[in-house]
Amino acid sequence: MKKNKLLFTKVIPVMLLVLLISGCGTDENSKNSAEGTVKTAKIKIGLSMGTLQEERWQTDLDVFVARAKELSADVIVQNADNDTNEQINQVKYLLDQGIDVLVIVPQDAERFSSLVQLAKKQGTKVISYDRLIRNANVDMYISFDNVTVGKLLAQYLLKKVPRGNYEIINGSPTDYNCTMINKGYMQVLLPYIENGSIKIVDESWAQAWKYELAFESVQNVLQRGKKIDGIIAGNDNLAAEAIKALSENQLAGKVQVVGQDADLSGCQRVVEGMQLMTVYKPIDNLAKTAAEIAISMAKGEQIKANSEINDGKYNVPYYMLQPIPVTKENMVSTIIHDGFHRLEDVYTNVPKNLWPKN
């Protein structure tokens, strides 16, 4: 018994020593692990898309997510599919995920101010991507110069049709970009309207970007017996529907149509002579820059905008990029050269012997 008791007495201190050493190591490792977690925790970005219906928005999404991943950030994506109420719910969901930055393409410019304030209360930075959130004081608005987009549409149409009847088909009234674009082309057109060179025979707005409204609008004007010489469309999809209506009346290619976004189908119509021009907005630059700004914001770095814009109540930082007009003549040097679309895709409906040399 004594021998056993002695052995037991000797073992206890050794075991305690081992436990103490192990315990210290565990605590230190836990501490290091915890510190390491703080140091290596990934930045989390919430990306709320108003829609992915247009071709260009899928490009925005793909480029943004790819660039964020290159910079070791995670992106949680939500797509509202043109439903404002759904987008509001999705933004609340993103804020519940503990995101560092909220990047939002608002479906309705007027209905997200309270959500921006909610985000700011919990310390989440907010970037208004491509479309401006009104009366919200976002941390950054990043988009193209939308007034210039409108000016380009009007200028190029005037070059081809300096006199005649114009139809204007605006985009969605809830998309503030459309208001800015409208402002741009009206600045250019107003002197011609006032001197009688140009007459606006119809102006409409495509609620929720419903493209069929463009078709209906053109059909209604033609059925009223009005002659149309030129059409300004809010984007290439609206232009496509307008041209479809013109085609049904044997007027496609005779009435000049302009649009924006440089969608593949829009570029195809330009080289085929069915659409006069489109406005190219280099999405790669926009999406990559937005991802980089979001990550810099999450790190607490100072971001310098190159402009500012009044959102109806506040002057907010505006990172502005410049749009590029694209016609048949400069399609290769812009769209093809930038890799936005491939030459063989753009010219697929053009006889190969008429393809430009790339």
Please tell me the predicted confidence (pLDDT) of residue 41.
81
Please tell me the predicted confidence (pLDDT) of residue 20.
35
Residues 252, 210, 137, 69, Cα dihedral to 10°: -90
> Domain 43-145+283-321 maps to which CATH number in 3.40.720.10, 3.40.50.720, 3.40.50.2300, 3.90.78.10?
3.40.50.2300
pLDDT digits (tens, 9 = 90+) for 271-306: 999 999 999 999 999 999 999 999 999 999 999 899
Residue 64 has pLDDT above 90, yes or no: yes
pLDDT digits (tens, 9 = 90+) for 171-217: 999 999 999 999 999 999 999 999 999 999 999 999 999 999 999 99
Please tell me the predicted confidence (pLDDT) of residue 38.
41
CATH architecture of 146-281+324-354: 3-Layer(aba) Sandwich (3.40)
Please tell me the predicted confidence (pLDDT) of residue 357.
81
Residue 15 has pLDDT above 90, yes or no: no
Q: Which residues contact 59 (CB under 8 A, 6 or more apart)?
A: 283, 284, 287
- Helix, strand, or coil here: 173? coil
Residue 355 has pLDDT above 60, yes or no: yes
Residue 97 has pLDDT above 80, yes or no: yes
Which pairing describes strands 125-129 and 256-260: parallel, antiparallel, or unpaired? unpaired
245 closest CA partner among 212, 278, 279, 206: 212
Residue carrying the six token digits 């002197």: 191
Please tell me the predicted confidence (pLDDT) of residue 358.
64
The chain-wide mean pLDDT, for the chain, equals: 90
Mean predicted confidence (pLDDT) in 82-108: 96
Domain with CATH 3.40.50.2300 in the chain: 43-145+283-321, 146-281+324-354
Please tell me the predicted confidence (pLDDT) of residue 22.
38
Please tell me the pTM assigned to this model.
Answer: 0.85
Residue 19 has pLDDT above 90, yes or no: no
- Whether the Cβ atoms of residue 72 and residue 43 lie closer than 8 Å to each other: yes
287 closest CA partner among 47, 43, 81, 41: 47
Residue 35 has pLDDT above 70, yes or no: no
